[in-house]
Structure 1
Amino acid sequence: MNLDELISEYAEIEGRLADPAVHADQTLARRLGKRYAELRPVVETYRELAVTTGDLATARELAGEDAAFAAEATELAGRREFLEARLHRLLVPRDPSDDKDVILEIKAGEGGDESALFAGDLLRMYLRYAERTGWKTEIINSHPSDLGGYKDVTVAVKAKPGQGEGVWTRLKYEGGVHRVQRVPVTESQGRIHTSAAGVLVTPEAEDVDVQIDANDLRIDVYRSSGPGGQSVNTTDSAVRITHVPTGVVASCQNEKSQLQNKEQAMRILRSRLLAMAQEEADAAASAERKSQVRTVDRSERVRTYNYPENRISDHRVGFKAYNLDQVLDGDLHNVTQALVDAEMERRLAEAQRTS
């Protein structure tokens, strides 16, 4: 879609959002609002560029008569160059899931109890990052460990209406193996151990994104285990759903009722099926589009958290910082920004090759 078409689409959506009848359909209004927020930076940058270009032409015409206009022309030329570059970046094809919310899963890996504790640390990091960013979080499913960590935990992260940037834009880079180096609480000799936890991030799918035939599902119920109230271990409230054609499985035991657990498991299942479909589409379109900063392959180590040096290292883009304590407290912006920038540079280079 070219720039003129985007501007026309923006004007059309603006008109539709002014119609009260549109807001009677909340799903439609939300979809239009997201697209409107996505297009706004493009249109605003284009309009400012047009004004700046006009002002620059005027300033250059008058520069010979007044030195002040010559100085203004120099300033406007710099501004126009900046706006042209910004517009070019905004027009680079986006990840189609960038406006989506996410389902984030953390699983303990190598390291036993220490890995489960680290999984808990990662969960707190993401919850605090979400709080700083203004996102809403909801723990969908969890299996706590004996020492206070998590064997695995699944959390939904949602942007608030009108935020513009979707959660996937930032958290999609978190998928992979996260390695920690520290002295475990269970270590009596003070030796540094290395353990790991796996993170999987998928865009949360809506009903319109993934069509699931009920006949393709196998639903099993079983008794919950672990903390959860009086219903735990007394009723078959936990639910496991298997999508038979693909073998994808999702389960939930956190809610008290079987119906609630089924609904949450379906959320996870839809997101996993959407992620699978997108990966297949990416592979079919171009192998190059499987960027290293988008991987959700658990076998790939993406980041190391070194406690003795207070250092965090992201191995995909060479990012390194010595404020690990702040990052674990939710100050994750600089880490994710390095990955966002790397992805943008890749997309720019790809756009230039195909233009």
Structure 2
Amino acid sequence: MFEAVVPLQAEHADLERRLADPNTHADPALARRLGRRYAELGAVVGAWLEWTRLGEDEQAARELGADDASFAEEAARTAARREEVAARLQRLLLPRDEADDKDVIMELKSGEGGEESALFAGDLLRMYTRYAEQRGWRTEVLEASESDLGGYKTVTVAVKGSGTPTEDDPAPYATLKFEGGVHRVQRVPVTESQGRVHTSAAGVLVLPEAEQVDVEVDENDLRIDVFRSSGPGGQSVNTTDSAVRITHLPSGIVVSCQNEKSQLQNREQALRILRSRLLADARDRADAEASEARRSQVRTVDRSERIRTYNYPENRISDHRTGYKAHNLDRVLDGELGPVLESCREADVAARLEALGEGA
């Protein structure tokens, strides 16, 4: 049982040696990548060592239990604990999404419902920002197009983790990847004079933020246009050609940024978004070419269009993929998103375990 741990333990020991070598840290990107893998394997090796130790303790307690009933009770408790550790170890050994240790770029867009949808997109941005603050993550708005009433037609935000991801403190993408899809809201819009409840929606796209080593962008494949910024933002807005539009010619992906005051800053922001979109595009193509079994291991929680409903009159939030429901919408919108995300993670783990069993 758990034979797969043996080569992982050897890899963990090798990574420990490499991370102790000062030459490794001469390349910060390499050191960061090795550190993440070391932390990931550390959780596996730690669980396996605990499982092995508990097995030895259980056997010793059972031998002593033949003469002393108290040891028989201890053996039963140890066996129960060992089963818990075995279940945890099994989850840790499941195939991982290779992007789970990455930061996130989230794109929120208004949809059906006009101004009301744009206001709801702003509410979602606030929810994610508050949740990130609670986790100790940093957020940065990369690009935004505001609506007339203060909502967002589109807004792109980067979410950066607080350090090396662990099992108990995963990276932003591992946590927020389940948020991609259409979020539906039911409430009385501010523009509704008769108090009728309307339904509108906003879309959320979650991308793992690509590092330069993940995606190589050839400058010859880019068409870069500059134009005059529009909207609020200071003296340079509407007076200088600081806004940047980048077109990736091979894929046709277009990214525009105008939030920053300088053309150089907007160019860097646009390239960040472009790299993440290209990485997501490459991942989608790989998934499409993979077998059904492989796809079920990589993306198991259904990403159908309508993933969640936010019902204001009933203060209710409902996730349509997992069946999660709670009447604490006000607190969720204030950043208490943890239980909702945990229901998605548990459903994902259960589906991958089921797929693993079917493939065995």
- TM, length-normalised to structure 1: 0.96
Deviation at 1:286, TM superposition (A): 2.2
Q: Counterparts in 2 of 1:167-246, with a 5 A limit?
A: 167-246=172-251
CA contact (8 A) 2:228 2:243 kept: yes
The question of whether the paired residues in 1 share the 8 Å contact of 2:300 and 2:348 is answered with: no
Aligned to 1:37: 39
2:81 is matched with 79
| Aligned equivalent of 1:129 | 131
Q: How many angstroms does 1:84 deviate by?
A: 1.4
User: How many angstroms does 1:146 deviate by?
Assistant: 1.9
Structure 2: how far apart are the matches of 1:155 and 1:262?
16
Identify the residue that residue 301 of structure 2 maps to in structure 1: 293
Query: 1:18 corresponds to which residue?
Result: 20
CA–CA distance in structure 2, aligned partners of residues 36 and 173 of structure 1? 25
- Separation (CA, whole Å) in 2 of partners of 1:151 and 1:10: 46
Q: Which moved more, 1:158-167 or 1:94-103?
A: 158-167
Aligned-partner Cα distance in 1 for 2:76–2:112: 59
CA distances 1:316-340 after superposition (whole Å, capped 9, x unpaired): 1211111000000000011111111
Q: Which residue type is aligned with residue 40 of structure 2? A: E
Q: Which moved more, 1:120-129 or 1:178-187?
A: 178-187
| Residue from 327, 332, 343 that aligns with 1:338 | 343
Distance of 1:46 and 1:287 partners within structure 2: 30
Shift of 1:294: 5.7
1:78-127 superposed Cα distances (whole Å, 9 cap, x missing partner): 11111112111110101111111110010111111111111110000000
Whether 1:266 and 2:271 are equivalent positions in the alignment is yes
Give 1:150's aligned amino acid: Y
Distance 2:131 2:291 in 1: 33
Partner letter of residue 41 of structure 1?
Answer: A
Deviation readout 1:208-256 (Å, 9 max, x if unpaired): 1112221111111111111111111111111111111111111111111
1:157 is aligned to 2:159? yes
Secondary structure of the structure 2 residue equivalent to 1:106 = strand
2:138 counterpart letter in structure 1: K
Q: Deviations 1:146-176 (Å, cap 9, x if unpaired)?
A: 2111111100001111342111111111111
Alignment partners' CA distance in 2, 1:294 and 1:57: 43
Q: Give the Cα–Cα distance (whole angstroms) in 1 for the partners of residues 291 and 317 of structure 2.
A: 32
Query: Any idea what SS the aligned residue of 2:184 has?
Result: strand
Does the 8 A contact of 2:300 with 2:352 survive in 1?
Answer: no
Decide whether the 8 Å contact of 1:292 with 1:316 is kept in 2. Answer: no
Q: Does 1:256 align with 2:265?
A: no
Seen in structure 2, the aligned counterparts of structure 1 residues 242 and 287 have a Cα distance that, compared at 3 Å, is farther
| Unaligned stretches of 5+ residues in structure 1 | none
Partner secondary structure for residue 155 of structure 2: strand
Q: Is the 8 A contact 2:143 2:157 kept in 1?
A: yes
Q: 1:241/1:251 Cα in 2 relative to 1: closer, same or farther (>3 Å)?
A: same
CA distance in 1 between counterparts of 2:120 and 2:64 reads 65
The CA distance in 2 between the partners of 1:340 and 1:146, in whole Å, is 37
Q: Secondary structure at the match of 2:22?
A: coil
Residue equivalent to 1:64: 66
Matched residue, 2:51: 49
Secondary structure of the corresponding residue to residue 153 of structure 2: strand
Question: What SS does the corresponding residue of 1:21 show, helix, strand or coil?
Answer: helix
Aligned length: 352
Contact 1:172–1:294 (8 Å) recurs in 2: no
CA gap of 1:98–1:154, structure 2 versus 1, over 3 A, is: same
Cα offset, 1:135, TM superposition? 1.1
Change (3 A) 1:133 1:188: same
Residue 145 of structure 1: how far off its partner (Å): 1.6
- Once residues 294 and 200 of structure 1 are traced to their aligned partners in structure 2, the CA distance between those partners, rounded to angstroms, is 14
Q: Which amino acid aligns with 1:309?
A: E
Helix, strand or coil: the match of 1:239? strand
* Structure 2 Cα separation of the partners of residues 286 and 336 of structure 1: 27
Per-residue deviation at 1:21? Answer: 3.4
Tell which deviates more after alignment, 181-190 or 97-106. Answer: 181-190
* Match for residue 103 of structure 1 among 84, 93, 105: 105
Shift of 1:19: 3.0
Q: 1:92 to 1:327 in 2, by over 3 A?
A: same
- Aligned partner of 1:28: which letter? L
Partner of 1:347: 352
Q: 2: CA distance between counterparts of 1:118 and 1:232? A: 27
Amino acid in the other structure paired with 1:174:
E
Compared CA separation, residues 323 and 263, structure 1 to 2 (3 A) = same
* CA distance in 1 between partners of 2:141 and 2:75 (Å): 55
Distance in 2 between residues matched to 1:305 and 1:338, nearest whole Å: 16
